[in-house]
DNA sequence: CCATCATTTAGCGAGTACGCTAAATAACAG
DNA sequence: CTGTTATTTAGCGTACTCGCTAAATGATGG
């Protein structure tokens, strides 16, 4: 039997809110923001007690959601925050407060 | 072997963003908001193609996250939106934009 | 009471998430 | 080349999510 292909999240909001749901991923975003927007994978991994590959995975989830992007810098990888989708999520939530009619 | 107890989400943000991650749950919130804040379980279930118990489950996730609350009304159950935690999430996202340094 | 209506609870199955360790890759230093 | 540093990929196990159907609950009407 052929292996079923993995599910693809087509909905942007679903990807963004799913990414924001995990505390490690929120910490990555907050730290990245606080540190001026750019950090290496190693510096990010050092924030956590768990194994490095686990962090790699969180970074991939964040990148797939469009919340971060990366660039090679020699043998390191520099991750930077991208706030456009954070703004999108904030605006979605905003509608609940600015819609008197 | 004893069955492991289910995981409890102690983190408010985790509960809220997890709840917001599913499109059905976002539709419930948007519809509740649009309809003036209150709807019966039946009216909410009628929004979806999927079986009623599936909607019940989504309502429980939303309620556990503090995004909705309910009250009995005869044999029906009236669900109403509670925006406090939506505001909390919106404000959390807001910090990424109002922190110039 | 008894049936019916509105809704939830119980429990199952397939798929997904998230931790881990081991192995692979890629760039740099000697 | 060879080793070292930085990081990802591969693959595994356990727990959780989300759909389903069947059964239970609780209020109302006759």
| pLDDT tens profile A45-54 | 999 999 999 9
Q: Could you identify the residue written with the tokens 């923001």?
A: A33
Q: Is residue B7's pLDDT more than 80?
A: no
User: How does B60-74 read in b/e, with b if 16+ C-beta sit within 10 Å?
Assistant: ebbeebbbbebeeee
Measure B21 CA to nearest chain A CA, in Å: 5
**Beta-ladder partners of B79:** B39, B70
Q: Is the pTM of this model over 0.85?
A: yes
Is B78:A64 a contact under the CB 8 Å cutoff? Answer: no
In this prediction, residue B23 has a pLDDT band, given cuts at 50, 70 and 90, of very high
Q: Output the CA torsion sign for B27, B16, A95, A101.
A: positive
> Which phi and psi angles does B11 have, rounded to 5°?
-80, 120
Task: State whether A89 and B93 contact (CB < 8 Å).
Answer: yes
Closest residue, chain A, to B91 (C-alpha) = A90
């Amino acid at each position: 039997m052929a292996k079923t292909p993995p599910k693809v999240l087509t909905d942007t909001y679903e990807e963004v809110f799913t990414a924001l749901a995990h505390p490690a991923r929120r910490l990555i975003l907050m730290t990245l923001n606080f540190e001026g927007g750019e950090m290496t994978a190693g510096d990010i991994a050092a924030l956590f007690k768990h194994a490095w590959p686990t962090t790699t995975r969180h970074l991939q989830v964040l990148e797939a959601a469009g919340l971060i992007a990366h660039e090679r810098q020699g043998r390191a990888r520099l991750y930077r925050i991208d706030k456009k989708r954070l703004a999108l999520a904030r605006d979605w939530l905003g509608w609940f407060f600015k819609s008197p009619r």
